[in-house]
Amino acid sequence: MAKVTLQEIAARCGVSRGTVDRVVNGRAGVAPAVAERVRQALEETGYRTPAQRRQAAAAAPVTVGFIMPNWNDYYKRKTREGVRAALRQIGDRRFRVQIEELRSRSIADYCAAIRKLEDAGMSGLVLNAADVPAMQVEIDRLDRAGIPVVTSNSDVPGSRRICHVGQDLVRSGRVAAGLLAPAVRDGSVLVICGNREFSAHFQRVEGFLNRMHELGDPASEVRVLECIERYDLTYDGVTDALRRDKRLRAIYMANESVPGCMEALAAHGRPDRPIHVVCNDLTPAARQYLAEGKIDFVVDSDFSGQAGRSVLVLYDLLCRGRQPEKTIEYVQTSVIPRELLC
């Protein structure tokens, strides 16, 4: 009998709840035969006092799942660094994180990874996933099963996740617009985004477009191209824009395929008409292009900080009983020019 109560023990033994309470707490006033009957019932049902249950829970290992999408190696490396840093800060050997790295971006793979973690006995989950109905259903199901979910990097805001830890993506896009706006006067800007099902992608674009509109240059134009993180689509999209749009002055790379953009510029750009570029995330490729002066600025996402903070939120909840103070936590947004590179 799971979580049996004193009243149920009393009914089983045909005595009052107060009699059972006296036996449990070792107080006098109970006939030996009755006390023995109560003790036998306590043993058979596995009853434990609240203090005993708390002590057992504190001693039990806690496993948190972390589903890592099939993004670039930089994201994966930084995410693992963040998880390791959080575990060092926690310093509790009973608490562990089991990372499941996906091989594709399909919802079926996400669901399979969730089932695997459930079978392994996870107590909580960190999830970076697309904001689609299927993921909302999964998060809500986990919540009903008593498994809290923290979304990291990309949010699923309509779900019952307990907290989202990520970058202020709208602000990130607005920052990029402010950096590029001076270069766009009387010209046009191309925005290359990834998969808009990920809030981390469409919110950046939303912030960028809104800020460009606020800056109010009626002669400037903005075109958005969705390239789903693919090199070929990015290369072809930039190449087509260079050929068709003689007014192109800037590109905002709101996706991860920066090499596709830069190699298209190298192959088809005009030396007398430089194209200014701002991208997200200080990947090795972006660092190199920034050092060479081919990229103007990098707006970094701090993947490590996002992952680490997500793990800490679940540790506080599961091991310390501390609910998140906020439903959304933002990490710092950093603008990195060439001069800040070591």
User: Could you say which residues of the chain have pLDDT below 70?
Assistant: 1-3, 51-59, 196-200, 217-219, 342
Distance CA 193, CA 204 (A): 9
The C-alpha angle 305, 311, 316, rounded to 5 degrees, equals: 120
Distance CA 169, CA 184 (A): 22
Q: Which residues contact 171 (CB under 8 A, 6 or more apart)?
A: 207, 333
pLDDT at 21: 86
Structural element, H or E, at residue 304: helix 303-320
Amino acid at 18: G
Of 319, 306, 281, nearest in space to 150 by CA: 306
Strands 334-336 and 297-300: antiparallel
Altogether, the residues listed in the chain come to a count of 342
Please give the span between the terminal C-alpha atoms of the chain, in angstroms, as a whole number. 62
Ramachandran bin of 8, using left for φ above 0, alpha for ψ from -120 to 50, beta for the remaining angles: alpha
Q: For residue 303, give the 3-state DSSP assignment.
A: helix
What are the structural domains, with CATH classification, of the chain? Answer: 6-57 (1.10.260.40), 61-166+303-330 (3.40.50.2300), 169-300 (3.40.50.2300)
Tokens 């459930």 label which residue?
A: 118
Distance CA 23, CA 232 (A): 74
pTM higher than the cut 0.85: no
Question: CA dist 307 to 70, 85, 96, 314, 321, Å?
Answer: 15, 9, 14, 11, 20
pLDDT at 221: 87
Q: CB–CB of 148/162 below 8 Å?
A: yes
Structural element, H or E, at residue 265: helix 258-268
pLDDT at 1: 40
pLDDT at 219: 58
- Please count the other Cβ atoms lying within 10 Å of the Cβ belonging to residue 274: 15
